[in-house]
């Protein structure tokens, strides 16, 4: 098990929000690519993570991303096998999961998209109490990401 000196991405997001910083886009892209490669490896080994979120993504001192907390992950018998147990953190759940439908690797990809959104905006794409989150995931679009750079915001020193 590796030691991740920088803690988790949730802590980094909270720190950035408190200090009115934003993450440098190249750092977000680096983290996202590492996460996508890691998730691809997990899926190639026929495992659904089912709880990908910023608090389950750890960082080493070299900004290497480590995906953690496989407590509710599900090993599958074959690649296309769907799952049907609704698990995970509400903010990141896919529409299939909140509707109680069968789901597959695409739900982990949805969660990855929610993580990316949070790294860019420092907010979750769907917020509120549990029932509001579920309604928003199923019925409402996420708030678009502002394309204009925030001139007043500084960038969080990562190194």
Query: What is the chain's mean pLDDT, rounded?
Result: 78
Which of 2, 8, 51, 108 is the catalytic position?
51
Question: Using one digit for the tens of pLDDT, what is the confidence trace for 6-34?
Answer: 788 889 899 999 988 888 888 899 999 99
The predicted pLDDT at position 83 comes to 46
The predicted pLDDT at position 151 comes to 44
> Which has the closest alpha carbon to 52: 7, 2, 94, 99?
94
Specify whether 84 is catalytic. Answer: no
CA–CA separation, 34 vs 67, rounded Å? Answer: 10
Q: Which of 1-10, 31-40, 53-62, 105-114 has the lowest mean pLDDT?
A: 1-10
- The pTM score is 0.78
Question: Using one digit for the tens of pLDDT, what is the confidence trace for 58-105?
Answer: 888 888 888 876 445 445 554 454 444 444 567 888 778 787 888 788
Which CATH topology does 7-71+84-141 take?
Transferase(Phosphotransferase); domain 1 (1.10.510)
Burial per residue of 29-63, b for 16 or more beta-carbon CB atoms within 10 angstroms, e otherwise: eebbebbeebbeebbeeebbbbbbbbebbbbeeee
Q: Can you give the residue ranges of every domain in the chain?
A: 7-71+84-141
Query: Could you identify the residue written with the tokens 């959104």?
Result: 117
- CA angle centred on 113, ends 83 and 148, rounded to 5°: 165
Collapsed DSSP state (helix, strand, coil) of residue 117: helix
The predicted pLDDT at position 28 comes to 92
Residue 59's Cβ-side half-sphere holds a number of Cα atoms within 13 Å equal to 20
C-beta neighbour count of 23 within 10 angstroms: 19
Work out the percent of the chain whose per-residue pLDDT is above 90: 18
């Amino acid at each position: 098990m590796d030691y991740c000196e920088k803690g988790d991405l949730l802590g980094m997001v909270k720190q950035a929000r408190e200090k009115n910083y934003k993450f440098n886009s190249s750092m977000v892209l680096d983290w996202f690519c590492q996460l996508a490669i890691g998730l691809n490896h997990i899926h190639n080994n026929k495992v659904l993570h089912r709880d990908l979120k910023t608090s389950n993504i750890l960082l080493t001192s070299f900004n290497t991303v480590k995906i953690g907390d496989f407590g509710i992950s599900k090993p599958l018998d074959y690649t296309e096998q769907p799952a049907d147990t609704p698990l995970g953190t509400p903010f990141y759940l896919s529409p299939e999961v909140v509707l109680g439908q069968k789901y597959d690797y695409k739900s982990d990809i949805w969660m990855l998209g929610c993580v990316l959104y949070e790294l860019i905006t420092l907010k979750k794409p769907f917020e509120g109490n549990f029932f509001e989150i579920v309604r928003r995931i199923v019925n409402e679009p996420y708030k678009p990401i502002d394309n204009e750079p925030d001139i007043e915001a500084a960038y969080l020193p990562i190194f």
